[in-house]
Amino acid sequence: AQSVTQLGSHVSVSEGALVLLRCNYSSSVPPYLFWYVQYPNQGLQLLLKYTSAATLVKGINGFEAEFKKSETSFHLTKPSAHMSDAAEYFCAVRENTDKLIFGTGTRLQVFP
Amino acid sequence: EPEVTQTPSHQVTQMGQEVILRCVPISNHLYFYWYRQILGQKVEFLVSFYNNEISEKSEIFDDQFSVERPDGSNFTLKIRSTKLEDSAMYFCASSGQGPYEQYFGPGTRLTVT
């Protein structure tokens, strides 16, 4: 069965520091992988997706993620955090059905 | 930029009452979904809808739930007799030709008292 594990429910970084949010997945077939961001009191916004093309995927707001099959990982990174990046980030997987399976989310705090 | 819209943003209802949550998906999308997020928990899939019928549903989506696309633009989720545990944020989503990228609405916060 497909599942997603996000290590670290809270991550704190200083403004300008590297952001690394971890996501590991379990899937019996090559998956489609997604990162969504949820700002306070808002819905889920698609940051980026992996659909079996390039393993390094670039998204909006300077975020990128690398699909590593050998590690079953799809970690999200951003070289330099900005205060406006503070939000909750969700990793999600989809196999050959319609539904997205979400991780439990990681709340990112950015300190000045 | 096209977006998914949902109404109302917040619904308060008494236990046992029926509620209808409304969504307007992106206009040329063909696949429609409902998810929910209980406070402090992960986002959970409820149901997917394509070609005027349910294509997949979760174990959460029991007989108390139903979905409908009453016209060419709206997509609704009905809960027949609400329970306290139905209190959650309900998200509608839609996707285009293929069910890859799902675009989410801002959600309806349902509070059952």
Task: Say whether residue B96 is in contact with chain A using an 8 A CB cutoff.
Answer: no
Q: What is the pLDDT of residue B96?
A: 85
Burial class (CB in 10 A: 0-12, 13-18, 19+), B90: buried
pLDDT digits (tens, 9 = 90+) for B24-69: 999 989 899 999 999 888 899 999 999 899 999 999 999 999 999 9
Spatial distance between the Cα atoms of A83 and A91, rounded to a whole number of angstroms: 21
Band of residue B98 on the pLDDT scale cut at 50, 70, 90: low
Q: Contact at 8 Å (CB) between A69 and A52?
A: no
Contact A100 B35 (CB under 8 A): yes
Positive or negative, the Cα torsion across B8, B10, B14, B15?
positive
pLDDT for the residue A108:
97
Tell me the percentage of chain A whose pLDDT exceeds 90: 73
Residue A30: what pLDDT? 75
B4-32 mean pLDDT: 95
Of A44, A49, A51, the CB nearest to B91: A44
The Cα B27–Cα B94 span in angstroms is 9
Q: How far is A96 from chain B (nearest CA, A)?
A: 10
Residues in A touching B29 (Cβ below 8 Å)? none
A-B Cβ pairs (cutoff 8 Å, strict) = 52
Closest approach of chain A CAs to the CA of B47, in angstroms?
A: 8
State residue B2's pLDDT score.
79
| Cβ-defined contact of B43 to A43 (cutoff 8 Å) | no
Nearest-by-Cβ selection for B42 from A32, A49, A105: A105
Give the tens place of pLDDT for each residue, A45-90.
999 998 877 889 999 999 999 999 889 999 999 999 999 999 999 9
B11 or A28, which is more confident? Answer: B11
- Amino acid B99: pLDDT: 54
Confidence (pLDDT) at A101: 92
* Average model confidence (pLDDT) across chain B: 93
Q: C-alpha dihedral over B41, B43, B44, B49, to 10 degrees?
A: 160
